[in-house]
Amino acid sequence: MDARISLNFSIAKVIAIFTVVAGHWFSPSILWIPVTVGLFIFAFSSGYFTARRYGPELDIRLFWRTKLERLGVRYWVILGFLAVVVAFRGGALLHWHTLVHFLGLSGVLNWLDIRNRSGLGAGLWFFTLLLVFYAVYPLLAKLCRPKRRAAVAAVTSTAMAIYLEEHSDIGHELWLTSLGFILGVAYGMQGPKLRAWPAAASAALGGAGLLVAHRIGLQGANTTLIAITGIACTMWLTNATRFNWRGFSRLARLEDYLLEIFLIHSYLFLHPSHNTLLDLSFSVTVIVAVAAGLHRTGNWISSKIVSRRATASA
pLDDT of 217 > 50? The answer is no
Ramachandran sector of residue 113 (left: φ over 0; alpha: ψ -120 to 50; beta: rest) = left
At 9, the pLDDT band (50, 70, 90 cuts) reads: very high
Question: Are 172 and 125 spatial neighbours (Cβ–Cβ below 8 Å)?
Answer: yes
Which residue type is seen at 237? L
How crowded is the C-beta side of 117, counted as CA atoms within 13 Å?
A: 7
At 3, the pLDDT band (50, 70, 90 cuts) reads: confident
Residue 95, classed as helix, strand or coil, is coil
Number of neighbours of residue 250 by Cβ within 10 angstroms: 11
Averaged over 284-293, what is the pLDDT? 97
Q: Which of 19-28, 86-95, 167-176 has the lowest mean pLDDT?
A: 167-176
- State percent of the chain over pLDDT 70: 88
Cis-peptide, bond into residue 28, ω within 30° of zero: yes
At 135, the pLDDT band (50, 70, 90 cuts) reads: very high
Q: Computed from CA positions of residues 13, 18, 24, 26, in that sequence, does the dihedral angle turn out positive or negative? A: negative
Number of neighbours of residue 106 by Cβ within 10 angstroms: 25
Angle between helix 219-237 and helix 32-54 axes, rounded to 10 deg: 40
pLDDT given for residue 208 in this prediction: 58
Question: Are 111 and 170 spatial neighbours (Cβ–Cβ below 8 Å)?
Answer: yes
Q: How far apart are CA 199 and CA 196, in angstroms?
A: 6
* DSSP secondary structure, 192-225, as one string: ---S-HHHHHHHHHHHHHHHHHTTTT-HHHHHHH
Angle (CA) 164-170-173 rounded to 5° is 70
Question: Are 237 and 9 spatial neighbours (Cβ–Cβ below 8 Å)?
Answer: yes
Whole-angstrom CA distances from 154 to 143, 166, 172, 186, 197 are 11, 19, 21, 7, 19
At 186, the pLDDT band (50, 70, 90 cuts) reads: very high
35, with CB counted inside 10 A (0-12, 13-18, 19+), is buried
Sequence-ordered alpha helix ranges (H) in 26-173: 32-54, 60-67, 73-88, 96-102, 106-111, 125-143, 147-167
Nearest CA-CA partner of 191 in 252, 246, 140, 150: 150
Tell me: the pLDDT tens digits for 230-259? 888 898 888 877 777 777 778 888 999 999
pLDDT given for residue 303 in this prediction: 86
Tell me: the pLDDT tens digits for 271-281? 999 899 999 99
pLDDT given for residue 226 in this prediction: 86
Question: Are 175 and 165 spatial neighbours (Cβ–Cβ below 8 Å)?
Answer: yes
Q: How far apart are CA 49 and CA 5, in angstroms?
A: 10
Q: Which of 51-65, 199-213, 251-265 has the lowest mean pLDDT?
A: 199-213
pLDDT of 1 > 90? The answer is no
